[in-house]
Chain A
Amino acid sequence: MTRSDIFAVVKSNIQTIVEEAQGMEITEEMSLRDLGADSLQIVEVISRSMKELRLKVPRTDLMNARDLKGLIDLFETAQGRSSPRP
């Protein structure tokens, strides 16, 4: 899955969960707080995205993600860890 695919999953979940973000243009430089998400919505977006992407990311790492770029970076790294090696 490409970075763009991962971002599409995260954006879709933001649009579903965060009412204020509906119709907004979402970029990687934004944070979930910028988009109007409360603390529970942030957990919901991350949780649903991880489930959809079948990824596991340590909670301590998730807390360090400052914006969507940081979150996508973590998901990309986790995807690399979980991919079968040739």
Chain B
Amino acid sequence: MMLEGMAAELFQQSCRTPLVPAAERRNGPWLEREAVEALLPHRAPFLFVDRITHLARPASPQAPPASGPPEGVIVCRYDLCQAASILSGHFPGQPLWPGVLQVEAVGQAGLCLLRLTEAAPGEEAAPPCMLTDILAGRCLRPVVPDGEVEIVARILRDGLFIIVIGQCLKDNLVCSAAAVRGIEREVRE
């Protein structure tokens, strides 16, 4: 399966520049770890979202605007201190946060966005999702373990599938971009 149309364009954009300007990435609403754990089944050491610092709800996930500020987007943060056990082996003496974990982080951020913005009437959150495909990934800069990484994600609907496209930022630079696809758990079961 290849990225096509809007998904391909968004992935390319994710490789080039932050999807949300730095000034907007902190303007809330802020959700702390406890709220994140209510959205995701993941737990440490495999939870890569510490908090949510920006959330914009989509007007329509299938038809975002061609220009102007992005809609339906989430910004999360993860403190790399928590990855110490992984970093001790990747690599000894030269720690780097693995690219595959950056792809996972984008997926987790996208799932937070989905659950916060697409709940059916009467539901607190949309149903959980299962990963089915890693559609694209590009590692552009090494992520060295000091401070926090920002994870930005958007979601697009593709029939019964949900595509998450996002990026990992450090010091306002794009370190990686990823596109993953999944389905709501109840569809597959």
Are chains A and B native binding partners rather than an unrelated pairing? yes
Check if B187 sits within 8 Å of A59, measured CB to CB. Answer: yes
How many A-B pairs fall under 8 Å by CB?
27
Bound-state Cα–Cα, A59 to B187, Å: 7
Say how far A61's CB is from chain B's closest CB, in angstroms.
12
Q: Decide yes or no whether B158 CB sits under 8 A from chain A.
A: yes
**Which of A43, A48, A51 lies in contact with B188, CB distance below 8 A?**
A43
Q: When each residue 5-25 of chain B gets 1 if its CB lies under 8 Å from chain A and 0 otherwise, what string results? A: 000000000000000000000
A39-86 at interface with B (beta carbon < 8 Å): 39-40, 43, 46-48, 50-51, 59, 62-63
Which residues of the other chain, A, contact B183 by a CB distance below 8 angstroms?
Answer: 43
Name the interface size band of chain B: 10 to 19
Name the interface size band of chain A: 10 to 19
Q: Decide yes or no whether B132 CB sits under 8 A from chain A.
A: yes
Q: Decide yes or no whether B161 CB sits under 8 A from chain A.
A: yes
Check if A47 sits within 8 Å of B158, measured CB to CB. Answer: yes
Check if A59 sits within 8 Å of B160, measured CB to CB. Answer: yes
Check if A59 sits within 8 Å of B159, measured CB to CB. Answer: no
A residues with a Cβ closer than 8 A to B are 39-40, 43, 46-48, 50-51, 59, 62-63
B residues with a Cβ closer than 8 A to A are 132, 158-161, 183-184, 186-188
- Write 5 A-B pairs (CB below 8 A) sorted by A numbering: A43-B132, A43-B160, A50-B160, A59-B160, A59-B186
